[in-house]
Each structure stands twice: as C-alpha cells, then as structure tokens.
Structure 1
Amino acid sequence: MTAPVRLTSLAHGGGCGCKISPAVLQDILARMPAAAAFPNLLVGTETSDDAAVWRLNDGQALVATTDFFMPVVDDPFVFGQIAATNALSDIYAMGGKPILALAIVGMPIEKLAPETIGQILAGGAAVCAAAGIPVAGGHSIDSVEPIYGLVALGLVHPDRVLKNSAARAGDVLILTKALGVGVLSAAFKQEKLDAAGYDALVASTTQLNAVGPALAELDGVHAMTDVTGFGLLGHALEMARGAGLTAVIDPHAAALLPGVEALAKAGVRTGASVRNWASYGAQVGGADALDDGTRDLLCDPQTSGGLLIAVDPAQADQVMALVQAQGFGLARRVGALQARSGDAPPLVLRG
C-alpha cells in the first residue's frame, strides 16, 4: 500500500506564514485605485483591519472576511479545523458574531485522495458547527498546492464595531493567546516537534476567539485585532499607526507555548519571521538590545493567534477576568499605548 502523502510536503509554506510580507503587501495595496465613498462602509482597507464592515440598518452591520492558506499540519481533519478557526477569528476580532461561511478549496487532485480532501472539509465544517453556523456553499479548483479556508460573514451592532484603529492613549494592551505557533509549525515540518508540542500547537490554533462579541459590549474596550501572520509586533504596529499613537511593548510579557523557547534558542524559526522584521523593523524603537530569538518570537507568524485588545486601564482587570473565564488562561498584559510625540516611532520595546 502506498504511504499517504504528507500534506505539508505539498506546500512551500503553511498557515499564516504563507502571507505576503507586510512591506510587499503595503506596496501592492498602494497601487490600488482609491475607492469611491460609500457612506455605509464602516470599515474598508484604510487601516488593514481584520474584516470589512457594512452598515445594514441602525442596529446591524455585516462583517465580511475571507482567509485561506496551505497546510500547517498533515492531519487533514485538523488542517480543516485550524483554517476554519483562523478565518472565523476575523469576525470575532471586529466584535462580530458569525452567521454563515463559504468554503474556499484548492487541491492537487492527482496527489490527494478524495477521502483526504473530504476530511479537510469535514474539519472546517466541525469548527463552524461549534461556532453555531453552517458552511452553506463555496468554490473549489484543482491547484498545485493544497489550499483551504473560508469566506465568513457575521453581524455586529454598528456602534459596537471594534476597529484596529480606535485605540486611545493610555490603553492597556492584552493578548489572549501565547506566542510561538510559527516556531512549532516550523519544528513540525522539520520533524523536530514532540507530541506535547504538537498538542499545544493544535490546541492553540483550534481555539475559537469567540470571546470577541462579549468584549465588544464593554465600553472600555476601544480597539481589537487578531495577531496572525505579521506577528505581535506587526499587528501592534497596525493598531498604533491607525490610531496615531505609539505602542510600548514589553518584549518578555507574552506567554509562550510549551517548548517554544527551547526550539527558538536552537535556531528553529520561520522564514516569515525574518520577512516580517525586514518589513517593519526600522519602525521599532528599542530593539538594539534584543537577542535574535526574542525578536523572532515577537515577529513569529501566528496561525489562528490571539486577540490583541486595547482597553482602558480601569477595565483591564475586568477584561483579563472575562477572557480567562472563557478559556484563555495564557492571556497576558503585553504593553500599552501612549501619545506619539515628534519623531517617536510607532512602536517601542521596553521591559
């Protein structure tokens, strides 16, 4: 009997590490023609937010996003779970509640058995069922590399949309998940990941960020985004630039997934972490004393990563209690936002 093909062997990258680098993406988007003014478009492409938001009426806005990538693991069902969890995260990051999903499927038909492809779709459908929504259709193509993801739609009150650009000076930054998904996935592809590390990878990437709508109900929560392919620093930079503030990040404050620190010290990292730093490192102050391993973890691409929350310090304890009660035991305060003065960079590392 022929041995099954490793899904990760069919892809040049995996998970959110497949993203185009921030600098290249910014250059591409800068070449797009300016969009016409649409008064009902509450969130578009201006601040690289997680999803588009369209006002339907005074009480409802539609949140729309799409996300897809290549395998980060070899188990087809788990790959489907991770990809779907990651796609739904964009809805939650805007404070929305998912209502519907469509599947995006690209598979090398001559290399993968129909049963394997079916398991990928089943994994995604299981996550959507857990989120209380159907996969109501989709589109599929025969592609060179395996690709799976979702178009996701959700609803939010127009006054409760959590943009990534609405943070305020003085806000505390809270990250709900541990870092290190990219390191663990790189170790997996290199066959250096033990069973405990694999379990930690899967547990983190399949945990739905379903606390998003509850956070949107708190007046003290001003902005939110999910930390994915650009790493903690990249998404904190987007938040700071959008608000015209400086993000002050403690480089050692975020929790790390089990085994990540040792792997990072052994030189395990993703090419995406290097590309991320090359894209935005010049905008980061206080990085001179940073060792390579810590820098890589701060830039590590997080497939289905945690929510980065900007909250009034008076409600920071309430937010921490809320997210921990909903299963995010590795949530940590990772920094704060302050007014930007003069030529100050949009992000500073300070322990």
Structure 2
Amino acid sequence: MKRLTQYAQGGGCACKIPAADLESLLGNARMPFPRDPEAELVVGLESGDDAAVVRTQDGSVLISTADFFTPVVDDPYDWGRIAAANALSDVYAMGGRPMVALNLLCWPPDLLPYDLAAEVLRGGAEVAAQAGCHLAGGHSVVDAEPKYGLAVTGVADPGRLLRNDAGRPGLPLSLTKPLGLGVLNNRHKNTGEVFPHAVETMTRLNADASRQAVAAGIRCATDVTGFGLLGHLHKLARASGVTAVLHASAVPLLEGAAQAVKEGFVPGGSRRNLDWVAPHLDPGDVPEETLLLLADAQTSGGLLVAGEIPGAPVVGELVEHIGHTVVIRP
C-alpha cells in the first residue's frame, strides 16, 4: 500500500508557511484595493481572521475561504474527509453556513495512481454533503507533491458574525476539540501507527459548535489549526486588544498526545509556533512539553470561542491587556 504521508515534506496544517514569515510576506505584498468595488469588505487581512467576508450591494454577507494541504494520514479517503472538514471550518469559525465548494487538487501521477486521487475526492465529497454544501467542480494540477483541499463560499447573518477581533475582558474561553493532532499525525507519519480517535476528531465538523455560539449571542471566535492553540489565541487577543489567560490543566488532550511529545514526535511547525508566540507569552512555570502541546499545529481542530457553549470545556478567560497577549497558568 502506498503511504501518502511519505510523499510530503510536511503534513496537514503543519505544512503552512510559518506565522512570522507569513505576516512579513503579507506586509510586504502591498496589495491594492479595488477602485470601484462590487461589495464592501467587512473582514479582510487586518486581523488575520479565518476567512474573508464581504457585504454585497443588496445587503447579503458572503464568506470566502480556501484551504488545502499535504497528506496528514496515509488513507486517501480519510485524508479527503479531513481536508474538507478543515476547509469548511473557516466558514463555521466566522459564524457562517457553507453553501458551495470547489476542489483544489495537486497530484503526482508518476508517483501515485489516480485511483488514490479518486478516493481523496470521494472523501471530500462525503464531508461536503454531510455539511449540506454543494461541491461543484474545482481545479487540478500535476505537482511533485500531493495536496488537496477546498475553496468554500458561505453565507452569514451580518449582525451575528464571529470575529477574532471582538473579544472583550471578562469573557470565558471555550475549546471544542482536544489538542494533540499534530504530534499524533507526526507519529503516524514516522511509524505507520493509526490513531482512529484522531481521525474522528479531524473529520468532525464544527457546524454544531458554530451554531451554538451564534445562538448564544457570542461574537468572538476562531478555529485552532496550523498555528496551534497558542498561535490562534495570540492572534485573537492581539486583534481584540486584550490578554488571554489560559489554564493549561483545563485544556483537553487527545489520548496518547502527551506520550508522543515525550517520545519526540513533535512537528517542526509546532516548535515554530512556540518560537513565534514566545515574545508575547508569559509561560509561568508550565513545562516545555506542555507548551509544545499548547502550540501543537492542529489539522481540522476545534473552535476557540470567547463564551460558553454546551459540551465545550472552559480553558481560560480574557482580561484587560497586561503586557502579554497570552498568560499561561497551571
């Protein structure tokens, strides 16, 4: 059997351009604004939110995002499901509902047969169908490395958007999925061990959590993916002008994740995440192994919500800015 993870340098969201490099790249790009736009840009690059949001001339609000990555698991069907769930998550993280998606596929036909690519597409289509989202075509190219994901368009109530810049002091922080996906996926890539509970977590849609947050009147959220909990929490706190206090012992972990860190299965992306956040972080007395899990690069992780929703543990709270964007307590 072809092991898909052996055909990629990185895996899943851990293959992202490092956060510090990406912010520098975008800062230097000097992208122009349209002179006569057809729609009003409500959420753009300013706060590094999960998706772009525009309001059209008739008042409708559209959410647009794209996400694709290299294989995170060896099973092509599961990879397709995970990649689709991850791409759809950006819409849910904005409080929206996905309407239509397009496949994004890069494939090395000289290395991997097209029947494996068909399984990837089948997995993506099944998750899109589960989400009630049309999957209507897309784009494919021959590439030296396999990659798959979706470009997704969704809709939202303009007065009930979830944004990463809407955090306020006094709000609790809730997390809807456990951490540890990066280290378990890295262990899978290096050993071939399969972790069904990690696959189940990555393929689970954030639809219910998003609906619950919107129904509860919550206005601040983001999803936890390639920059890890610490990275996305830093971005949320920075955009909102507050400090996030995170209680490390309250953060849920996947079974086997702590052991994987102890045995050295830490992706390079997770270490880069910690290095990026470190200047803005008060780690207290929390050990490095715990910090690495908190910075672990997640693929199709949960929502981080400034508020409380059913079934999601409270892992911290937002307070007035006190010098760091993130403060960790045991």
Common fold by TM > 0.5: yes
Separation in 2 of the partners of 1:159 and 1:138?
31
Is contact 2:181-2:296 (8 Å) kept? yes
Where does residue 256 of structure 1 map in the other structure? 253
Where does residue 177 of structure 1 map in the other structure? 177
Separation in 2 of the partners of 1:167 and 1:188?
36
Matches within 5 A, 1:1-351: 4-33=1-30, 35-36=32-33, 40-56=40-56, 60-191=60-191, 193=193, 195=194, 198-211=195-208, 212-219=210-217, 221-285=218-282, 287-311=283-307, 316=308, 319=309, 321=310, 324=311, 331-341=312-322, 344-351=323-330
In structure 1, the residue corresponding to 2:14 is in which secondary structure?
helix
Q: Which segment is superposed worse, 205-214 or 78-87?
A: 205-214
In structure 2, the residue corresponding to 1:140 is in which secondary structure?
strand
Separation in 2 of the partners of 1:231 and 1:252?
17
Q: Deviations over 1:202-236 (max 9, x none)?
A: 000000000213422322x1201000000000000
Displacement after TM superposition at 1:269 (Å): 1.0
In structure 1, the residue corresponding to 2:6 is in which secondary structure?
helix
Runs of 4+, deviation exceeding 3 Å: none
Q: Deviations over 1:258-310 (max 9, x none)?
A: 1112222222211111111111211101x252212101100001100000000
User: RMSD value over aligned CA atoms?
Assistant: 1.5
- Provide structure 1 residue ranges, at least 5 long, that are not aligned to the other structure: 325-330
Write the letter of the residue equivalent to 2:125: A
Q: Which segment is superposed worse, 141-150 or 247-256?
A: 247-256
Separation in 1 of the partners of 2:52 and 2:196?
33
How high is the sequence identity, in percent, across the aligned residues?
44
- TM-score, normalised with respect to structure 2: 0.95
In structure 2, the residue corresponding to 1:49 is in which secondary structure?
coil
- Provide structure 2 residue ranges, at least 5 long, that are not aligned to the other structure: none
Q: Deviations over 1:154-185 (max 9, x none)?
A: 00011111111111111100000000000100
- TM-score, normalised with respect to structure 1: 0.90
Is contact 2:160-2:219 (8 Å) kept? no
In structure 1, the residue corresponding to 2:98 is in which secondary structure?
strand
Where does residue 328 of structure 1 map in the other structure? none
Is contact 1:40-1:56 (8 Å) kept? yes
Displacement after TM superposition at 1:32 (Å): 2.0
In structure 1, the residue corresponding to 2:239 is in which secondary structure?
helix
Is contact 1:168-1:222 (8 Å) kept? no
Write the letter of the residue equivalent to 1:264: V
